[in-house]
Amino acid sequence: MKHPNSYFDHNATTPLRPEAREEILLALTDVGNPSSTHSFGRIARKRVETARKIIAESLDVSTGQVFFNSGATEGNNTILKGFSGKRVLCSAVEHLSSIDCGIHMELIPVTPDGLVDIEELKKMVSINPPALISVMMVNNENGVIQPVLEISKIAKSVGALFHCDAVQSYGRIPFTRENIGADFITISSHKVGGTQGTGVIIVAPNTSLPKLVEGGGQEKRARGGTENVIGIAAFGAAAKAALAQLNDFQKLSILRDRIEAELSKSNSVRIYGRDVDRVSNTISCTVDGVASETLLMAFDIEGIALSAGAACSSGTTRMSHVLTAMGVEGRADRAPLRISLGWNTTEKDIEHFIEVWNKLRARLFKG
């Protein structure tokens, strides 16, 4: 019997959690705009505020520090553009919604393991103190966990604020705003099992949130636009479920390690970030002797969804900026792979992966 398809792209987007689906169905029957004062509006407002409370409690902040928006791309743009014209440092492995947000960013180099080079950072801040340092907590390609509290302390020591993109850590590893020392945190709902197009910014007390979207007085006048009530309600439910299942998420490392053990049998495979702290669900590797498109397509035909973590243009394959920053050389016959597990990954998915991997290994490349 043919295997059902297996999804190994949770870092791109995580399947909707049943708890979020339930909330969506309830919210779909509502009519009101949360800014309306009548009873319909009040029902919509209650859904938004329920989600706000869940997210606030999960990060040990007050509800007044939680601002909903359209996702982490908007979140990162809001914070970083707010520092336009000032000196802003971010790591060389940040998401492109930070690196390419449209303002000048100075890149902090990373080690071959993908960790921010702390000594370099110290040198960069000592020459000329920045206004903001922005470093993600968990990298979306290799799952490496950055020493964000240490980075925050370096920022504070020179009077800079600290922004942390926590998209790949929220609902995956436990943390609060205070214990990562962040002045701003950006999060996206679809990475915890909510819907695409909803996110949140968390702001430290007595810190003003830059404004990106002008308009009505929504979100305490910080972000114009009628709230995405359905998306926000789903976000609250997904966050609650994810946070209740943090232990299960840690246990994904057992499944991940089974895949890595199998990959490691091949001389053609190199796995990245393995010697440093990593989130439990992510594998970043390269496979030599095969082109990225060939390998990904072959996996897809066998019902395995993966991503490359590489961008392709005009027939030439280049490494993603993340692997490049880690010193990995791009080659046409070197396929980068990102394998990311999540809340609904099963043992059967792992067996399916291993079976397909061994089949492709025999067929597509030597070693």
Set 90, 101, 285, 312: catalytic member: 312
Checking 181-184 for CB contacts under 8 A at 24+ apart, the result is 181/148, 181/149, 181/152, 181/153, 181/155, 181/156, 182/148, 182/152, 183/207, 184/79, 184/209
Tell me how far, at minimum, the Cβ of 91 lies from ligand PLP, in Å: 11
Instruction: Return the number of the residue (11 or 266) whose C-beta is nearest ligand PLP.
Output: 11
Instruction: Return the number of the residue (34 or 199) whose C-beta is nearest ligand PLP.
Output: 199
Residue 119: count other Cβ atoms within 10 Å of its Cβ. Answer: 10
Q: b/e string for 196-230 if b means 16 or more Cβ within 10 A? A: eebbbbbbbeeeebbebbeeeebbeebbeeebbbb
Single-letter amino acid, residue 166: A
Instruction: Return the number of the residue (97 or 268) whose C-beta is nearest ligand PLP.
Output: 97
- For residues 20 and 193, the answer to whether their CB atoms sit within 8 Å is yes
Tell me how far, at minimum, the Cβ of 198 lies from ligand PLP, in Å: 8
Give the DSSP letter of residue 290: S
Instruction: Return the number of the residue (72 or 125) whose C-beta is nearest ligand PLP.
Output: 72
Which residue's Cβ has the minimum distance to ligand PLP? 71
Question: Nearest 5°: CA angle at 136, between 49 and 64?
Answer: 25
Residue that has been written with the tokens 């922004």 in this structure? 163
Tell me how far, at minimum, the Cβ of 245 lies from ligand PLP, in Å: 20
Instruction: Return the number of the residue (136 or 339) whose C-beta is nearest ligand PLP.
Output: 136
Interface residues toward ligand PLP, by CB under 6 A? 71-73, 76, 95, 97, 136, 140, 165, 167-168, 188, 199
Tell me how far, at minimum, the Cβ of 279 lies from ligand PLP, in Å: 11
Tokens of 40: 């319909």
Tell me how far, at minimum, the Cβ of 272 lies from ligand PLP, in Å: 16
Tokens of 56: 């606030």
Give the DSSP letter of residue 278: B
Instruction: Return the number of the residue (91 or 266) whose C-beta is nearest ligand PLP.
Output: 91
Tell me how far, at minimum, the Cβ of 360 lies from ligand PLP, in Å: 26
Q: Is 90 a catalytic residue?
A: no
Instruction: Return the number of the residue (76 or 152) whose C-beta is nearest ligand PLP.
Output: 76
Tell me how far, at minimum, the Cβ of 165 lies from ligand PLP, in Å: 5
Instruction: Return the number of the residue (32 or 71) whose C-beta is nearest ligand PLP.
Output: 71
Element (H, E) at 134: strand 132-134
Single-letter amino acid, residue 132: L
Between CA 98 and CA 77 the distance in angstroms is 7
Between CA 322 and CA 271 the distance in angstroms is 14
Q: b/e string for 325-335 if b means 16 or more Cβ within 10 A? A: bbebebeeebb
Tell me how far, at minimum, the Cβ of 40 lies from ligand PLP, in Å: 29
Tokens of 98: 């930070």
Residue that has been written with the tokens 């968390």 in this structure? 202
Q: Burial level of 127, CB count in 10 A (0-12/13-18/19+)? A: exposed
* Active-site annotation, residues: 312
